[in-house]
Amino acid sequence: MENKILKWMVDYFCVSVFVEICSVAQNNVLFIIVDDLKPAIGSFKDKLAVTPNIDKLASKSFVFENAFVQQALCAPSRNSLLTSRRPDSLRLYDFHSYWRTTVGNYTTLPQHFKENGYHTHSIGKVFHPGITSNFSDDFPYSWSQRPFHPKSEIYKNAKLCQNEDGSLGANLICPVIVNFQPFGTLPDIESLHEALHFLKKKNNKTIPYFLAVGFQKPHIPFKFPREYLDLYPLENIPLPQNRWRPATLPEVAWNPWVDIRTRDDMKDLNIPFPYGPISDDALKKIIQCYYASTSYIDYLIGQLLEAVDNNTIIVFVGDHGWSLGEHGELAKYSNFEEATRVPLLIHVPNLTKNKKKITKLVELVDIFPTLVDLTQISKPLSLCPVDNESTALCSEGRSLASAMWGNASKGKSAVFSQYPRPGPYPELNSDKPILKNISIMGYSMTTRRYRYTEWVGFNTSTFNISWNKCYGKELYDHSIDPGENMNLAGRPELHEIQKNLRKKLILGWRHV
């Protein structure tokens, strides 16, 4: 106990010095969240990516190279990040419930800033829209003014994508001429203009702001200005070497990417359900459009960053990753690292004048307590109680401030993700099962060397986990298999390693 108290005192002292160095005035906060963005960014060693503006931000930020989401699906991931509570605490694994009415009146990240003197505003996709944020983006709890949504987003899935024969479809691949789109614009362009308008009014004001800007691309459909295709000639697009389903992958772990198959242009390919495969030519076009969409967002982010003053903490993050053919999969909806690992950058004024790489394992639930410590708007967040009954302000993450300051501690020894399934075999609703249909939960733990996953029975009435009812296990050794291509679960020579990893997985995040 004395060691824990001493560590807390040291960390708190570091944070206090941290904030004193950063600025005298209260820092503004710009929170940028990008939909479906994996680390397909130049500063994350992706040689294909053309992302000069994000790279420029990275050059003066803390770059967290091993940041993981808690579930690779938009609503659960965003609500987990913004409340610093994990999916099992929110009891949210789909798009169909609002945590304040079903579990507890938990405080959110922007709400905490609002309650401590900040003007908070949401632009674009920050919370997932719909019932999961009470059809209001959690207004007025989290935001000082009504959240902004682009008027053109109602056309995001409309039949506006041009086919080769001149007809229009609701396609996956949809490069467009912007002037010919409804209202002559695209949703992310509208969000940028709203953000620039907000910053023009709020910069140099005495009341600090917390501005959250959510960009929709590279989320499907890949609707973006067609000129960004020029950055990625199709003949230069590489295919992943591991683009086939691993023979030892449990069937329950497979993500059949149904939302890809149902797009008009993909239907014409007659891709066999559930395992495919998709043709190399089609996969190349998907990869090309994912990267083109990312470069489009990079350009908008560059314009946004030019309007930010020097007193602003900037957080840049993806809400989850996206598979681009690795293991024969597309989209998210899995526990593979392609779906769970995301880019995370934190820029702190006057402190990160140069790039500072952090290789420690971190989770998106860590962002909330980190921003509290960096701004010192309140005392540090306490750890949430085990019973999950309290609605008091707390965190199920761990502040990254001491790691940013240079504390020599090793950090977390493991990070945790999970994904639900309706049954042991791929079904049409395997990707996005609604709560009542979930019967299996895949609990996944990544350590510095391994990823270990068990797909176990899950009761959505009691929310009890049946660890003894197992439908599949996965074990990957990243030291010899960074691509997670060879499932080693069940190997007799790894029995003790798997046994210890299983024990750690069951104990959970509180014990790492």
Q: Encode 358-393 in three state secondary structure.
A: ECCCEEHHHHHHHHHHHHCCCCCCCECCCCCCCCCC
The CA distance from 364 to 371, in Å, is: 12
The CA distance from 344 to 368, in Å, is: 13
Helical segments of 184-279, H only:
187-202, 258-261, 264-267
Tell me, what's the pLDDT at 245?
Answer: 94
**Omega within 30 of 0 (cis) for the link into 380:** no
Other CB atoms closer than 10 Å to residue 193's CB: what's the count? 16
The angle formed by the CA atoms of residues 447, 61 and 32, to the nearest 5 degrees, is 85
**Omega within 30 of 0 (cis) for the link into 150:** no
Residues found in the chain = 512
Residue whose structure tokens are 């609707």: 223
Question: What are the mean pLDDT values of the chain's consecutive 10-residue runs (512 residues total)?
Answer: 42 45 72 98 97 97 97 98 97 96 96 97 97 97 98 95 91 97 97 97 87 98 98 97 95 96 94 94 98 98 96 97 97 98 96 89 98 96 84 92 78 96 97 97 98 98 97 98 97 98 97 92
- Token pair of 387, please? 């019973």
Q: Which three-class secondary structure string do you get for 294-348?
A: HHHHHHHHHHHHHCCCCCEEEEEEECCCCEECHHHCEECCCCCHHHHEEEEEEEC
Burial of 506 (0-12, 13-18, 19+ CB in 10 A): middle
- Token pair of 509, please? 């995040």
DSSP string for 177-202? -GGGSGGGS-HHHHHHHHHHHHHHHH
Domain ranges across the chain: 2-511
Tell me, what's the pLDDT at 392?
Answer: 79
Phi, psi torsion values for 68, nearest 5 degrees: -130, 145
The CA distance from 44 to 348, in Å, is: 19
Question: In DSSP terms, which residues pair with 357 in a beta bridge?
Answer: 63
Question: In DSSP terms, which residues pair with 455 in a beta bridge?
Answer: 442, 472
The CA distance from 447 to 202, in Å, is: 42
Report the sign of the C-alpha dihedral through residues 452, 456, 462, 464, in that order: negative
* Residues 282-295 as b or e (16 or more Cβ within 10 Å = b): bbbbbbbbbbbbbb
Question: In DSSP terms, which residues pair with 161 in a beta bridge?
Answer: 169
Report the sign of the C-alpha dihedral through residues 349, 354, 355, 358, in that order: negative
Question: In DSSP terms, which residues pair with 162 in a beta bridge?
Answer: 168
Taking only the tens place, the pLDDT of each residue in 294-318 is 999 999 999 999 999 999 999 999 9
Contact 422, 439 (CB under 8 A): yes
Contact 433, 422 (CB under 8 A): yes
**Which of 148, 88, 160, 9 minimizes the C-alpha distance to 459?**
88
Whether this prediction's pTM lies above 0.85 is answered by yes
Question: In DSSP terms, which residues pair with 454 in a beta bridge?
Answer: 443, 473
Strand order, beta sheet including 414-421: 414-421, 440-447, 450-458, 465-477
The CA distance from 125 to 478, in Å, is: 34
- Token pair of 297, please? 């967002």
**Which of 59, 21, 8, 56 minimizes the C-alpha distance to 351?**
21
What single DSSP character describes residue 258? H
Confirm whether 74 is a catalytic residue: yes
Tell me, what's the pLDDT at 350?
Answer: 84
Contact 49, 42 (CB under 8 A): yes
Which CATH number does 2-511 carry? 3.40.720.10
Confirm whether 149 is a catalytic residue: no
Tell me, what's the pLDDT at 13?
Answer: 41
Tell me, what's the pLDDT at 406?
Answer: 77
Tell me, what's the pLDDT at 12?
Answer: 47
- Coil, helix or strand for 470? strand
Catalytic residue among 74, 161, 384, 394: 74
Catalytic residue among 112, 128, 149, 219: 128
Question: In DSSP terms, which residues pair with 123 in a beta bridge?
Answer: 148, 213
Tell me, what's the pLDDT at 408?
Answer: 57
